[in-house]
Structure 1
Amino acid sequence: MKDLEGHESQHEYTSTLRLITLEEAQAAIHESLINYKPCIEEISLVESPGRILAEDIYAPSNVPPKELAALDGIAVNSKDLLHASHKNPVKLYLKKSYVDSLRSGEAVPIATGMALPRGADAVVRSENFKVEGEYVRIIEKVMPGKDVIQKGEEVREGELLLKA
C-alpha cells in the first residue's frame, strides 16, 4: 500500500464508523454546547428576516395615541346633539379653526386623521350639517365615538406584537 506521498508503506489504514445510542448522541451534543454563550444583539426590524427573536416584543404605547377623526367634518360633543334630526336641527357655534378644547354648544372643523379636541367625542359628516354664518345647523343625532378612531384601536399599550 502507498502512503499519501506515493511511497510504499507497510501500514494499512482503516476507517470505521461506530453507531452510538441516542443518549450518547444527546450527551455529545450537550457537552459540545457547555461553553456556548448565545449572543443577543439589537437590530432593526428591516435587518431581522432569518433571525431568531430573543424575547417577546410588546407595544410601548397606544396606536393611535389619542382619538382621531375618521373622516372630514366637524368635531362635536354628542350630548349637544341628543335631539338633532331633520325636523329638529341643532345649531352650534362653529369655531373658525381647530382648537385644543371644545365647550358645550360648540363645533370645530376637523380633517381626517386629526386629533379630536378635548370635549369632543364624535365627528359629524359634512352631508349632515350646513354652515350658516358663525353657526352650523346639524340634522343628525350622533352617538359618542361616531366616525372616531379610538385611542389604541390599532395597537394597545402592552399588547404582544412579536412572540419569541
Structure 2
Amino acid sequence: MEKKPSFMIIPSLLTPKSKGFLKLSSTNPHDQPLLYGNFLTDKRDKDVDTLLAAVRVVQSLARTEAFWKFNASFNTNVVPGCKQHSYDSDQYWKCALRALSLTFHHQVGTVKMGPKEDWGAVVDNKLRVYGVGRLRVADSSVIPFAIGAHTNAPAIMIGEKAADAIKDTWKEYL
C-alpha cells in the first residue's frame, strides 16, 4: 500500500447464523479447551450474504460526495486465493470474505444458560453448572445466542446476577 492517509471500514456480523462448538482437549482441567468457531459455515450462506451486502453498502458510501471530497478509493489489491474470480463480482467478494474474515473475540453460548431439558444448556438460571456442585459460570459464555451488541455490558450484568445468586445462597451464613 502507498504511504498516504487512509482509513478502513470493517463490516461486522453481529448476529451470525453459523455455530461453533467447544471441546475439551483432555481430562486435565488445567488444559485449554478447543474452540471451533466454524465461521461462515451456515448451510444457507446467510452470513456471507449479509457481509456481501455490507460490502456493497460501504461501496455505495464511497461513491457519495462526502467521500469524494477526500479522494477516497478502494484498495484494489486482489486477495490471494481469489484471483480466479472477476474483481468486484459477488463470487470474488464471497471468496475474499471467507479469506479475510476474523473474529472480534466476543464469543457467547459456549457455556449456554438454559433449562436442564435443553441438551445444549450447561448452567441454570442461577448460573450453576449442571451436575457439578458449588460451581458457577459468570461471564458472557452463558448468553445462549449471539446478541447484536458488544458483550461488555451484558457480562457486567451477568456478574451482578451471579453476585446476587451467591449472596442469596449463602445469606444464612453471612
Q: TM-score, normalised by structure 2?
A: 0.22
Which structure has the larger Rg over C-alpha atoms?
Answer: 1
Given the two structures, how large is their TM-score scaled by the length of structure 1? 0.23
The structure carrying a bigger strand percent of its residues is 1
Higher relative contact order (CA 8 A, sep 6+): 1
Structure in which a larger fraction of residues adopt helix: 2
